[in-house]
């Protein structure tokens, strides 16, 4: 134990300084992790925006639905009903609106 106390007396300040420097460098690494997370966030946000715009392009509005009801053959009625259910547009209401 005497040797350990002597070592701390001689080199204690150096050990503390080295530990402080190592702790400082460890805390600097968090910044790069935050930058990586921000980059991943930007990529995911861009992907979500792309998917949202793709979904917006594929939706059917009321005027297109009326056109489909009037001009599409009867075998496509099921598809039209599926689209109307998905978009929450009532086919019966649109047909009555025309009459």
Given this model, what pLDDT does residue 55 score?
65
CB 83 within 8 A of CB 65: yes
Residue 75: pLDDT over 60: no
Residue 70: pLDDT over 80: no
C-alpha–C-alpha distance, residues 65 and 76, integer Å:
12
Report which of 58, 57, 79, 59 is spatially closest to residue 68, judged by C-alpha positions.
Answer: 79
Given this model, what pLDDT does residue 58 score?
65
Given this model, what pLDDT does residue 57 score?
63
Given this model, what pLDDT does residue 62 score?
75
pLDDT tens-digit map of 11-66: 888 989 998 888 887 777 666 777 888 888 998 888 887 777 766 666 767 777 77
């Amino acid at each position: 134990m005497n040797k350990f106390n002597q070592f701390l007396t001689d080199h204690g300040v150096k050990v503390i300084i080295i530990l402080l420097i190592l702790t400082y460098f460890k805390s600097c690494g968090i910044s790069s992790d935050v930058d990586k997370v921000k980059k991943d966030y930007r990529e995911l946000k861009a992907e979500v925006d792309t998917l949202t715009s793709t979904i917006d392009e594929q939706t059917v509005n009321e005027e297109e639905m009326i056109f489909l009801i009037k001009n599409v053959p009867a075998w496509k009625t099921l598809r039209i009903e599926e689209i109307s259910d998905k978009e929450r547009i009532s086919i019966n209401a649109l047909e009555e609106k025309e009459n």
